[in-house]
Amino acid sequence: MKVLLVGESWVSEATHYKGFDSFTSVTFHSGADWYNAALRSKGIEVEQLYAHDVPAKFPFTKAGLDAYDAVVLSDIGTNSFLLPTETWLQGKSAPNRLTLLAEWVKEGGALIMAGGYLSFQGFEAKARFAGTAVEAVLPVTCLTHDDRVETPEGSVPQVHAATHPVLAGVPAEMPALLGYNRVTLKPGATLVASVNGDPLIAAAEAGKGRALVWTSDIGPHWCPETFVKWDGFAPLMANMIAWVAGK
């Protein structure tokens, strides 16, 4: 199987003050190293489209999406899909790639949204998936305000559908998570697991396709090292891909 992981990277600028003088540095970071390694350990091919490349390089056509068995959106907001270079800088029209992605799912595609500061509605509601075509195919409804739940003390997930294929071969007890995006379960969707009473893993059919959400991170900080090093992490993440892809 081939997966397109969209986002889960960032560029940081820092200013360093040393007495009278100062200078800046710019660094690139990816939060997907644990996740990508977990999927590859299960024989899944992963192509990561870094966040800064999404406006120009996320597929503009169904044929482009058809190159993948599943698409995973992680910590990447709607503006990156809605504002390609041609639109943002040149004022030219372009396909609405949120609508394109949703239609692809309904025609048999496979979509996962993972949590993060720019997932679902996100930090200060800047991700803005509420009311979009993508939200319409997800098994959950987004809030319309900042939806982050920070639990630095740790919150242990609770399983609700132990026989769901997503949990096949996964140890019964998951380690604690340090945060997630709060969403509400849609009628007819399957709640596989929750955290603090809110959906953590939810799954649903979407037309001829499937969609699933994992409302916490796929790596630190919300998904701490104790979780990504847990022997259930790789099978859990791989099972999610297998289920949405119908494999």
Q: What is the pLDDT of residues 177-197, one digit of tens each?
A: 999 999 999 999 999 999 999
Amino acid at 130: A
Percent pLDDT > 70 in the chain is 100
CATH number at residue 204: 3.40.50.880
Q: What is the pLDDT of residue 218?
A: 98
The string of DSSP codes covering 113-143 is EE-STTSTT-GGG-S--TTSHHHHHSSEEE-
- In the chain, how many domains are there? 1
Q: What is the pLDDT of residues 5-19, one digit of tens each?
A: 999 999 999 999 999
The yes-or-no verdict on residue 214 having pLDDT over 80 is yes
- Residues 70 and 86: their CA atoms lie apart, in Å, by 27
Stretch 220-244: mean pLDDT: 98
Token pair for 135: 């939200």
**Backbone dihedral angles phi then psi of residue 161, each to the nearest 5 degrees:** -130, 75
Stretch 42-50: mean pLDDT: 98
Q: What is the pLDDT of residue 199?
A: 98
Residue 198: closest CA among 151, 232, 145: 151
Q: What is the pLDDT of residue 5?
A: 98
Exposure string (b/e) for 213-238, b if CB count within 10 Å is 16 or more? bbbbbbbeebbbeebbebebbbbbbb
The yes-or-no verdict on residue 247 having pLDDT over 90 is no
Stretch 95-99: mean pLDDT: 98
Question: What integer best gives the mean pLDDT of the chain?
Answer: 97
Amino acid at 207: G
- Residues 57 and 103: their CA atoms lie apart, in Å, by 19
Q: What is the pLDDT of residues 134-176, one digit of tens each?
A: 999 999 999 999 999 999 999 999 999 999 999 999 998 999 9
Percent pLDDT > 90 in the chain is 99
Q: What is the pLDDT of residue 105?
A: 98
Which range of residues forms the domain containing residue 239? 2-244
